[in-house]
Amino acid sequence: MASVGDESSRFEVDSNRLRLLRDGREAYPAMLAAIAGAKREVLLEMYWIQGDKTGLMFRDALTAKAKEGATVCVTYDAVGSISAPSSMWQPLIEAGGQVIEFGPVSPLRKRFRFNRITFRDHRKILVVDGETGFTGGMNIGDPWLPRDEGGDNWRDEGIEVTGPVVRDLRALFFETWRRTGHTIPLDAGRFTRSASGRVVVLTNGHGRRRGIRHAYLRAIRHATERIDIANPYFLPGPFFLAALKNAQSRGVEVRILVPGLNDVWVVSMAMSSVIGRLLESNARVFAYQGRVLHAKTAVFDETLATVGTYNLDARSRRYNRECNIAVYDAAVARAARVRFEQDLAESIELSVSSWKERSLAHRFFSWFAYPLRQFL
């Protein structure tokens, strides 16, 4: 697997060191290297783990570390990882690792709760020795592998952090661990959201339902020049769209990047109506071409860049546990914008005229799917 990103993707902000990771090509080697170098503890919280080449590669890396005596804890979402057989974790469990299924959907499972079945753990977090942490859009599966390695090469973004902010990622993992009924270590700490001033872990679970959304809205309201948002499931509510429109009225340029090819067809249809509203308000909307866009990033002026798991849809807002890292630093914002510009170069800009020329069938399915956006 290829080596990770160059020096232009590395930054130091306050007491934290950061690295932006583009696609699975950069993220997976960095994550596997961190696991291999673990001395005491590896924590993995993942929405979607597949039982494929990539999933087994991570499983084997975790198993090897458990055999060395490190504490290894894994939690995966029952819906996101439904295609992965539970038997794939047996080698890790036999080596002393602990594996927990979040939100069982089978009534036969001990912690099944029918009234909680819509609540999912959509986070993607890896924490090693309480010192190095990762999050971003990447799940663990072959779609994120480069095509020359048998994958689909999905376009995604991740971030690696070392420093004080990792304490919040670790505490966030153990909050979920505790809520699944398991014992947490005495040094697990509490999620504070203030471990460091300019590098902040954002979440919306555990009583913080609107944390990430509020951070987006604050940034939109304070933007003075440009807002760039990339999101694969861009289905924000009227309040969010109004905030973008108000920003435009202040002279802020708004650019939205969405997939040209969406992995969920009905979401693509529902997004069509939202895109039309944006275009009619003079926002610039781009459709990414060639690969599946799965990155969830945003850049506001040269003030803030955010990378994480949060989709701008009703599920992330109301039901999913999510995690973003926000970095209030001009150099990081500029680097994130360079990546955004690279993606625009691989996209086509949509127009009001082309949107109005959609086929009758497309219009019908869009009309039908839009009211379903609260459930997508």
Give the pLDDT confidence of 253-302 residue by residue, as tens digits.
Answer: 999 999 987 666 567 777 788 888 899 889 999 999 989 999 999 999 99
Q: Please identify which of the residues 67, 206, 301, 362 carries the catalytic annotation.
A: 301
The yes-or-no verdict on residue 206 having pLDDT over 90 is no
Q: Which helix H or strand E contains 152, and what residues bound it?
A: none
**Which residue(s) pair with 71 in the sheet?**
41
This model's pTM is above 0.75: yes
pLDDT tens-digit profile of 121-159?
Answer: 999 999 999 999 999 999 999 999 998 898 889 999 999
Average pLDDT for the chain: 88
Q: Please identify which of the residues 294, 313, 329, 343 carries the catalytic annotation.
A: 294
Q: Please identify which of the residues 121, 122, 168, 313 carries the catalytic annotation.
A: 122
* pLDDT (0 to 100) of residue 253: 97
The yes-or-no verdict on residue 104 having pLDDT over 60 is yes
| CA–CA separation, 316 and 30 (whole Å) | 27
The yes-or-no verdict on residue 164 having pLDDT over 50 is yes
The yes-or-no verdict on residue 196 having pLDDT over 70 is no
Burial of 87 (0-12, 13-18, 19+ CB in 10 A): exposed
Angle between helices 53-67 and 23-36 (to 10 degrees): 20
* pLDDT (0 to 100) of residue 39: 97
296 is catalytic: yes
Q: Please identify which of the residues 124, 168, 313, 343 carries the catalytic annotation.
A: 124
Can you spell out the DSSP letters for 175-189?
HHHHHTT----TT--
214 is catalytic: no
* pLDDT (0 to 100) of residue 195: 45
The mean pLDDT of 348-364, rounded to a whole number, is 74
Hey, what's the torsion of the CAs at 163, 175, 23, 265, to 10 degrees? -160
Q: Please identify which of the residues 168, 296, 313, 329 carries the catalytic annotation.
A: 296
